[in-house]
Amino acid sequence: MSEPPTRSPSPRVGDHRPVTWRPPRVVSTDRGEGPVALLLHGQPGQGSDWDDVAAGLASSNRVLVPDRPGYGRTGGPAVGLAANADSLDCLLDDKGVGSATVVGHSFGGGVALAMALRHGHRVRALVLVDSVGTGRSIGPYDRVLGLPGLGEALTFAGWELSRRLLPALRRRSTRLPPALGAWLRAIPQTSVSPDGDRRDGGSTWRSFVTEQRALLAETPSIEAGLGSVRVPTVVVAGRRDRLVPARATAELADAIPGAELVWVPGVGHLVPQEAPGVLVEIIRRHASGR
């Protein structure tokens, strides 16, 4: 595999200070043939969160599914939205891919938007699923968990509790405050399993904190650039999503010129797992240019 080129990142999407920096090398699965779809998982998560969608697409598309920096097989330290985008630009170089339909879930949607703003030639179309991207998509829990010191302590404590009690907490989550219950239901089981924690040295919670801070720092520049997105875009959201408010989803679609808004009835924040067939059809349509 060739060495990725040196880039000049910044904690903000539009800032290009002359700092020598090498994007993290990203590990991905690569299957199928045809128009390329790049599937970006959320926070926390890993590429396997897309297994059902990737399997459905593989008969008609080449599907690249990375573990983003800080998670899964890629591991290492987590990075922000802009640096994730730069890492994925290098991944496409390594795979010999010129452009792709970029699909992002939740935090991964913010990464997809950063790709469109920083590496627009790489993005043939965008599919943003239960996506961040506007200030309204950042809730009070996000802001608390992004605080220095307190955010780390709360995240670590919550992670340890979740690893041990997640199944029971999920069953009881309807009795918790709505936003907290929704957050617990949205955590992929693989992200907090004891086996997963041993494999990554317990680093998942650190990756989560790093990305929380990046979300707070970089969302304003993402939001400021939404009007300059010029690729076909569809914004998809579960009608029962309690993590990204419906109003934030509608605002995101309104801010991107020509964006299509699709509501998926009966599902929450985890559309890739709850309604993979819906996403397969949407992605296939956009990847083929129909």
Mean pLDDT throughout 57-84? 94
The domain locations on the chain are 27-137+219-287, 140-204
Q: Is the pLDDT of residue 248 over 70?
A: yes
Give the model's pLDDT for residue 116: 98
- Residue 174 above 80 pLDDT? no
Buried b (16+ CB within 10 A) or exposed e, 215-248: bbebbebbbebbeebebbbbbbbbeebbbbbeeb
- Name the average pLDDT for the chain: 81
Residues 52 and 280: their CA atoms lie apart, in Å, by 9
Point out the least confidently predicted range of 85-99, 150-164, 227-241. 150-164
Instruction: For 9-82, list the strands marked E by DSSP.
Output: 27-31, 36-40, 62-67
Beta bridge partners of 103: 39, 127
176 in Cβ contact with 184 (< 8 Å): yes
Whether pLDDT at 261 is above 90: yes
Q: Distances in Å between the alpha carbon of 99 and those of 31, 37, 38, 120, 152?
A: 16, 9, 9, 9, 37
Tell me, rounded to whole angstroms, the distance of Cα 238 from its chain centroid: 15
Q: Is the pLDDT of residue 114 over 70?
A: yes
Which has the minimum average pLDDT: 50-59, 107-116, 155-164? 155-164
How far apart (Å, rounded) are the C-alpha atoms in residues 179 and 242? 6
Q: Is the pLDDT of residue 35 over 90?
A: yes
- What number of other Cβ atoms are within 10 A of residue 56's Cβ? 19
Reported confidence tier of residue 171, pLDDT bands at 50, 70, 90: low
Residue 199 has pLDDT above 90, yes or no: no
The pLDDT tens digits for 144-158 are 555 565 555 555 555
Tell me phi and psi for residue 216, to 5 degrees: -65, -40
pLDDT at 138: 77
Whose structure tokens read 């990203």? 26
Q: Which two tokens stand for residue 136?
A: 């309204």
What stretches of the chain adopt beta strand conformation (E)?
A: 27-31, 36-40, 62-67, 100-105, 123-129, 233-238, 260-264
Domain 27-137+219-287 has CATH 3.40.50.1820: yes
pLDDT reported for residue 56: 97
Tell me 56's DSSP state.
H
